[in-house]
């Protein structure tokens, strides 16, 4: 059975528990309310990738690649703050410290990583999925929706 035919909420219920499940179901409702869809591990808005989501452990059964049962990698450029989606200093510091996605040389189009400016700070060796949110049962979850909103607004501007 594919992810799409199973339904994202069912995948979440089978994989997650506690606060992480509560947050995931909240995010699924947010996606629906904002015309986003989930298929084959990708969240789409207006047929453009917003982020990638993984549920469960890596196929190898280890936590090495997926330290938590719910991981999100965000697409987009975070070189500027969006006036429509303000980002405070605490959020910037948190993202810079814990969520900049360093390239793992997976063979993707960013290998071996590229320089990136993320909310005014320069980083080297960054994956094309710039932000990696992997502990979505705590403080990290409160930053997910503003980042998704930034990406969706960037898609809107790109399509105008």
Distance CA 29, CA 23 (A): 10
Q: CA angle 135-140-143, nearest 5°?
A: 145
DSSP class of residue 1 equals: -
- What the block records as the tokens of 65 is 């690649």
Question: Which pLDDT belongs to residue 48?
Answer: 95
- The ranges of the chain with pLDDT < 50 are 1-2, 4-5, 60
pLDDT digits (tens, 9 = 90+) for 106-148: 766 767 788 888 888 999 988 878 888 887 877 889 999 999 9
pTM for the complete prediction? Answer: 0.84
pLDDT at residue 128 in the model: 78
Looking at residue 148, its pLDDT comes to 93
């Amino acid at each position: 059975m594919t992810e799409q035919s199973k339904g994202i909420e069912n995948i979440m219920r089978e994989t997650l528990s506690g606060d992480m499940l509560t947050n995931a179901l909240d995010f699924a409702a947010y996606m629906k309310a904002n015309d986003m869809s989930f298929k084959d591990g990708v969240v789409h808005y207006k047929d453009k990738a917003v982020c990638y989501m993984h549920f469960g452990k890596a196929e190898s059964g280890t936590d090495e690649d997926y330290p938590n049962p719910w991981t999100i990698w965000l697409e987009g450029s975070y070189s500027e703050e969006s006036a429509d989606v303000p980002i405070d200093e605490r959020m910037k510091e948190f993202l810079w410290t814990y969520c900049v996605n360093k390239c793992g040389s997976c063979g993707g189009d960013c290998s071996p990583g590229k320089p990136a400016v993320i909310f005014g700070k320069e980083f080297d060796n960054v994956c094309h999925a710039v932000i990696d949110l992997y502990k979505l049962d705590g403080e990290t979850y409160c930053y997910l929706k503003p980042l998704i909103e930034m990406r969706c607004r960037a898609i809107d501007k790109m399509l105008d």
